[in-house]
Structure 1
């Protein structure tokens, strides 16, 4: 008798659940919601720069080629120290020495060795930019390969852009809800993908030749950097509350 009673209750519970499921599915299909995209942007002038430099030397022996580039780099580092550039703001650890060949009529002839060194100098005063490039050329570091601009408080400005994106998504959602005589309910979903800062609406890195054309607008030897753009976006879905 007890077993029969348990079976009856289990059957009733199963039937009750079956009757509720269509109602829940119907509620999901009829759920009122609104999705908005929020966007935030902060523009600031950069206050620091990173210069990528290179030096090459060609000699018959690899040792001579290496010594040549080492001497030039050492002289340049000494000059940087004199003008107040800190050692921790300089990276000069790379070296490459490789043989050179020239090809003639299907054969190749050995033409010595080429040594290459690269350096990265971070400047926290943009006024030092022209002087450092001039010193590099004076010390026969002919490759000014890239100039990148940044800001020492980049994290702060990125956080500001993020907060603006959040507020923008709320403002849009409230305006749309009010336009349709509804009110915002709880958040349903949030989709977020971090965005990197952009230099003047473009990638923050550019070669020195492009930089010279794009930024030198006042007089020779003066470099005027464009703005850094910190932007962020977020997509949010809200429940809508409808007054019956």
Structure 2
């Protein structure tokens, strides 16, 4: 390659780099407007989920496990008889912890505590009180959590997300109108998360008056961050 050709190649490369730097600088200096948008959809819970705790204490793990398995079989059999489908019963989580007692000479291990979580889901809201009464009579020691949930409404969050985008656009246009500028195309958009708050009902609250425990409506929210270009 001749010296002239090499010089021409180098100049072309430098021109390309300079052009890229100028483009990047112009992009960085563009006037932008950043807004947040939120959308919400109201849904009616049509199911519930509850976690049941079975627990045994003693000195021998094998004996604890045998008793726990017996209680578990009794509980699961009852749930199946009440119409809870097997696929909606989860009982895989097991915990084994040492148990301690406090003596004048200090803390001393005194056997073990073996527990098992059983989580169930049901769409029959009318029978949850009978379910809870029944499992407590069959070895369940306590109810950890009770939630009303909305099943089969997966598009609710999508609708909330669309509403959040529309809200962001309206916010941008409102700001632009006040500032006497014009909103251009979208430069960036990101989903900043949402929440699905579900009321938690403790067993003692439910026991006070089962007839007044109504699911009501729940609010599903979605949030987005949107960046618009300002038209010069």
Query: What's the TM-score, normalizing by structure 2?
Result: 0.78
Alignment of 1:1-244 (within 5 A): 3=3, 7=7, 25=25, 29=29, 31-59=30-58, 61-96=60-95, 100-106=99-105, 111-199=110-198, 206=200, 208=202, 212-213=204-205, 220-222=209-211, 223-225=213-215, 227-242=217-232
| Cα-to-partner distance string for 1:99-143 (whole Å, 9 max, x where unaligned) | 645342226667555432221111122223211111111223121
* Deviation per residue, 1:61-99 (Å, 9 max, x gap): 444433322222222222112111111111123445566
Q: Is the 8 A contact 1:182 1:241 kept in 2?
A: yes
Whole-Å Cα distance in 2 between the matches of residues 241 and 174 of structure 1? 12
Number of aligned residue pairs = 230
Q: Distance in 2 between matches of 1:12 and 1:114?
A: 76
- Root-mean-square deviation (CA, aligned residues, Å) is 3.6
Retained in 1: the 8 A contact 2:55–2:114? yes
**Does the residue aligned with 1:195 lie in a helix, a strand or coil?**
strand
Q: Which stretch of structure 1 is more off in the superposition, 4-13 or 35-44? A: 4-13
Larger radius of gyration: 1
- Gapped regions of structure 2 (runs ≥ 5): none
Q: Is the 8 A contact 2:78 2:135 kept in 1?
A: no
Aligned mates of 1:111, 1:9 — CA distance in 2: 83
Question: 5+ unaligned residues in a row in structure 1: which ranges?
Answer: 201-205
CA distance in 1, matches of 2:23, 2:111: 83
Whether the 8 Å CA contact 2:192–2:225 is kept in 1: the answer is: no
Pick which of 95-104 and 18-27 moved more.
Answer: 18-27
Alpha-carbon separation, structure 2, partners of 1:197 and 1:124: 18
